[in-house]
Amino acid sequence: MKIATWNVNSIKARKPRILDWFDDAKPDVCVLQEIKCVDDAFPAGDFEERGYNVFVHGQKTYNGVALLSKHPVEDVIRGVPGFEDEQSRYIQGTVFPEDQEPIRVGGLYMPNGNPAPGPKWEYKLAFMEALTRHMEESLEDEDAFLVAGDYNIIPTAEGVYDPIGWKDDALFRPEAREALRRMLNLGLTSAVPTLLHEPYYTFWDYQGGAWKKNNGLCIDHILMSPEAADRLEEAGVDADARDPEVGNGDTKPSDHVPVWATFE
């Protein structure tokens, strides 16, 4: 079973590229971030005709997340439990494959947090704390659980092309890296680094020719509970999706690329 995450930066602007990727990558489950539309504006039909059940936690202009699954989904949650939030940044559901054990899948769009310090940074700190608490509570159930998405956190210096230049950025500040380590210390494991033993990026800014210079960041992650990690088979990053020369030339790429993992 293949589970993917992708910050698409507008479902409307990106639709042809997204559908091409779905037809090629064929994820069983995919969480999308920054869909930038309300629930009713999400093009559910395009995914339903490909066999997906569609769950949306939308928001106009900013944010918005979705959960797509070829398998039945139950217990859908919108928003981080216990965290009052006007912004649509989290969706979760329990996926029931026909011939495998179920797995709870969370789709995350963490606040960016810039500029730091300031109210946006404070919001990010509060969100990270609430998400950590939700992860901790979820782990008590001791079943397969993962949170995939745009964490907006660079884990280590290997995850940024210019660590010194980014040291005060909300994506790389010590408090953000600490928050991610706190999640890992709960017992969660990051899927891609477990199997890919080299640095990698998942985001390249639109500005400054970042893609051509490979000025990337590693900010999209899949964190797995021990029970999910035990079932991990493969994991990867579809970096080609960032290349304007590859794929649908009429549609510009997202600044993020899909990150995925497969489970037995």
Partner DNA sequence: ATGGTCGTTACACGA
Question: Does 10 sit near DNA (CB under 7 A)?
Answer: yes
250 is in an annotated binding site: no
* 85-91 own/partner pairs: CB under 8 Å, 24+ apart: 85/127, 87/59, 87/62, 87/63, 87/111, 88/57, 88/58, 88/59, 88/63, 88/64, 89/63, 89/65, 89/127, 90/57, 90/65, 90/131, 91/31, 91/55, 91/56, 91/57, 91/65, 91/66, 91/67
Catalytic residue among 28, 52, 71, 150: 150
Residue 91's SS3 state is: strand
Minimum CB distance to DNA smaller for 118 or for 163: 118
Question: Does 208 sit near DNA (CB under 7 A)?
Answer: yes
* Minimum CB–partner distance for residue 252 and DNA (Å): 4
**Stretch binding DNA (CB under 7 A), from 11-19, 21-29, 69-77, 91-99:** 11-19
143 flagged as catalytic = no
Which 19-48 residues touch DNA, going by CB under 7 A? 36
Minimum CB distance to DNA smaller for 182 or for 252: 252
Catalytic residue among 57, 134, 221, 256: 256
Rounded distance, CA 82 to CA 59, Å?
A: 20
Residues in contact with DNA, counted by CB under 7 A, come to a total of: 17
150 is in an annotated binding site: yes
256 is in an annotated binding site: yes
Half-sphere CA count of 161, side-chain side, radius 13 A: 13
CB 246 within 8 A of CB 240: yes
**Stretch binding DNA (CB under 7 A), from 91-99, 127-135, 176-184, 203-211:** 203-211
Rounded distance, CA 65 to CA 186, Å?
A: 25
123 flagged as catalytic = no
Which 84-143 residues touch DNA, going by CB under 7 A? 111-112, 114, 120
Catalytic residue among 52, 90, 109, 201: 109
* Helices (runs of H) and strands (runs of E) counted in the chain: 7, 14
The 10 Å Cβ neighbour count of residue 99 is: 6
Minimum CB distance to DNA smaller for 26 or for 206: 206
109 flagged as catalytic = yes
152 is in an annotated binding site: yes
H helices within the chain, ranges in order?
11-25, 44-48, 119-139, 174-185, 191-195, 210-213, 226-229
Query: What residues are labeled active site?
Result: 109, 150, 256
Residues of each annotated binding site: 7, 34, 150, 152, 255-256
Residues that bind DNA (CB under 7 A): 9-10, 12-14, 36, 60-62, 111-112, 114, 120, 206-208, 252
Residues of each annotated binding site for Mg(2+): 7, 34, 150, 152, 255-256
